[in-house]
Amino acid sequence: MAHADVTVIFNPRAGGNKQRFLSNILQHAGIKVELLQTTHPGHARELARKVRAHQRLFVAGGDGSLNEALNGLLDAQIEGHEVPPLGVIPLGTANVLAVEVGLERKAKAIADYINNPGQVWIRPGLVNGRAFFLMVGMGADADTVANVSLKLKRLIGKGAYVLEGLRNIIFPHHRDFEVNIGRENYRVAGVVVTHAQHYGGEFIISPSAKLTDNGFDVVLMPGNGIGALSRYGLALTLNRLHEQSDVSVVRTERVTITSHCGPAPMQIDGESAGKLPCEISLSPYPVRLMVPQAYARAAGGMVDSGNQPLQLTKA
């Protein structure tokens, strides 16, 4: 069933190939959409805040653009407005959220998802007042995101992060963080607070994490220096970071992180954003995330049954 009331937020700076891919997707979907193009950083947040609740809102871009739109929806809810469900058309570098929900990066699969999405309710995370779907990281990953060359990123995509990550392993920054979870305090060199299993694309950082859970997995990495960072990096590529003997994973709904090494950067949903200290908790405002129907069924969400209203399925 094709839905006419579809709004797509798209960053035209994403490049010609991505524009053609988006056109191909919409042709497959066979629908007309209201296309809202962004013109400056933060514009997706401004646009999403104004989208009416009866629309279906998709963000054509990466996890950073989706994060902006998510924050726009929370702005609208804080102002007392109902908001539309939010979905993703993956055009970015890593598209972790698309991987997380099992959305294939093929035009026909994305078109089918646009026309017949499932829905799940998600309580986003909040870090110092900013919402996130996926994760917040401090340490080598945040240093990599903060220093990656945007020109190189446009040229070689994820390869730019790999090169910058290797540089951070060979010439590591000294990092020393204090992580407070309830009554426990941990001293670590790296920490990722994640709502998602996946990291950087296909890699699994914490198999027990779920977008639909009311909590985060906090991945604690105490090791510093070239040896520890090399080991963590290799383990991540093998999906075994959580199995490292010195790595701990703690489930919580709230965490506070402070820096003992000066103003260290944070990455939020793969974008550099602010510096420590930070407090991370769950937003009181849930959002409806549009996902492939298989993911919605597995998560006990809602599926679109042809011309019928969205029905709640049993978990």
Residue 200 shares a structural domain with residue 253: yes
The dihedral region occupied by 188, where left means phi > 0, alpha psi between -120 and 50, and beta the remainder, is: beta
Q: Is residue 276 part of a domain?
A: yes
CA distance 75 to 80: 9
Question: Based on the structure, what is the number of domains in the chain?
Answer: 2
Instruction: Report yes or no: 186 and 179 within 8 Å, Cβ to Cβ.
Output: yes
| Separation CA 157–CA 93 (nearest Å) | 6
pLDDT of 2 strictly over 60: no
Q: Is the dihedral of CA 137, 142, 144, 146 positive or negative?
A: positive
Is 182 in the same domain as 67?
no
Looking at residue 14, what DSSP letter applies? G
CA distance 47 to 11: 12
Q: Are residues 159 and 201 part of one domain? A: yes
Instruction: Judge whether 25 lies within some domain.
Output: yes
Residues 155 and 263 grouped into a single domain: yes
Residues 93 and 156 in one domain: no
State yes or no: pLDDT of 312 exceeds 50.
Answer: no
7 alpha carbon, distance to own chain's centre: 20
Establish if 1 belongs to a structural domain.
no
pLDDT value, residue 204: 95
Q: How confident is the model at residue 82 (pLDDT cuts 50, 70, 90)?
A: very high
Reported as a single tens digit per residue, the pLDDT across 123-159 is 999 999 999 999 999 998 888 776 665 665 666 566 6
DSSP code, position 55:
S
Q: Are residues 75 and 150 in the same domain?
A: no
DSSP code for 308 = S
Structural domain contains residue 156: yes
The CATH number of the domain where 24 resides is what? 3.40.50.10330
Judge if 107 and 25 occupy the same domain. Answer: yes
pLDDT tens-digit readout, 166-217: 666 666 678 899 999 999 999 999 999 999 999 988 899 999 999 999 999 9
Give the CATH number, domain containing residue 213.
Answer: 2.60.200.40
Task: Provide the CA 196 distance to its chain's centre, in angstroms.
Answer: 8
192 with 245, same domain: the answer is: yes
Indicate if 278 and 290 belong to the same structural domain: no
Distance (Å, rounded) from C-alpha 215 to C-alpha 287?
A: 15
**Alpha carbons 292 and 190: distance in angstroms, whole number:** 33
Tell me what the mean pLDDT of segment 15-24 comes to. Answer: 82
In a domain, 195, yes or no: yes
Residues 276 and 142 in one domain: yes
What global pTM score does this model have?
Answer: 0.89
Question: Does one domain contain both 305 and 175?
Answer: no
Q: What is the pLDDT of residues 224-257, one digit of tens each?
A: 888 898 899 899 999 999 999 999 999 999 999 9
Which amino acid belongs to residue 64? G
Domain that holds residue 231: 130-282
Distance CA 154, CA 135 (A): 23
Asked whether residue 15 carries a pLDDT value surpassing 60, the answer given is no
Indicate if 144 and 241 belong to the same structural domain.
yes
Q: Strands 86-90 and 184-188: what pairing?
A: unpaired
